[in-house]
Amino acid sequence: MKNVSHKLVATLTAVGLVGIIAAAASTAIAKPTARSASIKACALLPDTTSSTRYTLFDAPYLKAAFRKARVAATVVNAHNDPQKQKSQAQQCLAQGAKVILLDQLDPISGASITNLAVSRHAKVIDYDRLVVHSKAAYYVSFQNPVVGKLQAKGLIAALKARNKYSKHPVIAELNGDIKDNNAKLFKQGYDSILHPLYKSGTFKLATAGDQWTEWSATKARTIFDQMLARNANKIDAVLAANDGLAGAVVASLKAHGLKSIPLTGQDATPTGVQFILAGWQSGTVYKSVRREANAAAAAAIALVKGKKVPGVNGKVSGTKSILLTPVWITKANYKLLFQEGFLKKSQVCNGDYAKYCK
What is the average per-residue pLDDT within 150-173? 98
- Calculate what percentage of the chain has a pLDDT beyond 90: 87
Complete DSSP assignment for 143-173: -HHHHHHHHHHHHHHHHHHTT-GGG--EEEE
Res. 22: pLDDT tops 50:
no
**Closest alpha carbon to 153 in 200, 188, 207, 189:** 189
| Range 41-136+289-324 has CATH code 3.10.129.10 | no
Please tell me the predicted confidence (pLDDT) of residue 51: 81
Q: Is the pTM of this model over 0.75?
A: yes
Question: How many residues in total does the chain contain?
Answer: 358
Element (H, E) at 77: strand 73-77
Please tell me the predicted confidence (pLDDT) of residue 24: 38
What does the domain layout of the chain look like in residue ranges? Answer: 41-136+289-324, 144-287+328-356
- How far apart are alpha carbons 111 and 135 in whole angstroms? 8
* Each residue's pLDDT tens digit, 316-331: 999 999 999 999 999 9
For residues 33 and 228, the model is more confident at 228
**Closest alpha carbon to 167 in 135, 201, 143, 117:** 201
Rg of the chain on CA atoms, in Å: 26
What is the average per-residue pLDDT within 42-68? 93
CA separation, residue 21 to residues 8, 17, 25 (Å): 20, 6, 6
Fold match flag (41-136+289-324 vs 144-287+328-356): yes
- How far apart are alpha carbons 190 and 175 in whole angstroms? 10
Element (H, E) at 59: helix 59-68
- Domain 144-287+328-356 superfamily per CATH: Response regulator (3.40.50.2300)
What is the average per-residue pLDDT within 164-181? 97
* Each residue's pLDDT tens digit, 208-260: 999 999 999 999 999 999 999 999 999 999 999 999 999 999 999 999 999 99
Res. 277: pLDDT tops 80:
yes
What is the average per-residue pLDDT within 97-104? 98
* Each residue's pLDDT tens digit, 323-353: 999 999 999 999 999 999 999 999 999 999 9
Confidence band (pLDDT; 50, 70, 90) for 15?
A: very low
Q: Specify whether the CB–CB gap between 62 and 75 falls below 8 A.
A: yes
